Amino acid sequence: QAELGKPQRNCYTLPGFDFSYGLYIHRTDGGVPEAIGHWNTVKSRTASVQKMPRDFITMNRGALKAGYTTAHEFNLYYKAKDIRCKDDEYSCFKRSPPKVPADFTYGITARPCTPFFDLLQHKYKELWMEQQRALAVAQRAEKKKKDKVCETRTTFLRKHPLPAKEESFWHLPRLEKVGPHLSTFPDRDARKKAFSA
């Protein structure tokens, strides 16, 4: 039962003052004497020699120079002369790095600050509206171009007809300058009047 006149205790009882919390790890705890007495050194890993991939470009060039043409001869050449790709440590970039000025800064330049006045005045909205208007005008003009009928030779000839050819009959050359033998008109005026009609 709970003690009279006191709140009920709902917590755990703690161990005494000589109790140490945490885990005891062997050979690492123990203070200065153990640190002096034991040298727990980590052995350095030897870098495993990585086998570089084959340099087929150089090997193929050498096989062609030697006069080999078939796949079997090429395989024999690969076994005889196994040329590997060069390591990046010996690349020309690492051997002779590019000359860069002393005050050169690598990286990307920082983004400029956001103009708050433009945000408050809705300037970006106005720019977007202008772009949309220009885009609508361009689309309308393009649509008009598409709606316009392409002019063919037929439509061109309808608008601009060719001049009518005057019909000329063929005459014998020796009879062209011969005048008429018979004139049925009473006078020249009557003849002109008849031809003009």
188 located within any domain: no
123 located within any domain: yes
167 located within any domain: no
98 located within any domain: no
pLDDT along the chain (197 residues), means of 10: 70 82 67 70 64 87 91 92 76 68 83 84 91 95 80 87 80 75 86 87
166 located within any domain: no
Q: Are 84 and 53 in contact (CB under 8 A)?
A: yes
In terms of Cβ atoms closer than 10 Å to its own Cβ (0-12, 13-18, 19+), residue 127 is exposed
65 located within any domain: yes
Q: Could you give the number of structural domains in the chain?
A: 2
pLDDT tens per residue, range 115-146 = 888 888 888 899 999 999 999 999 999 888 87
Mean per-residue pLDDT over the chain, rounded: 81
- Give, for 31, the enclosing helix (H) or strand (E): helix 31-37
CA–CA dist 118, 125 (Å, integer): 10
CA–CA dist 165, 154 (Å, integer): 19
- pTM for this one? 0.25
Which of 126, 146, 166 represents a domain boundary (last residue)?
146
Residue 128: give the domain boundaries.
118-146
173 located within any domain: no
69 located within any domain: yes
CA–CA dist 89, 185 (Å, integer): 119
| pLDDT recorded at residue 26 | 63
Length of the chain counted residue by residue = 197
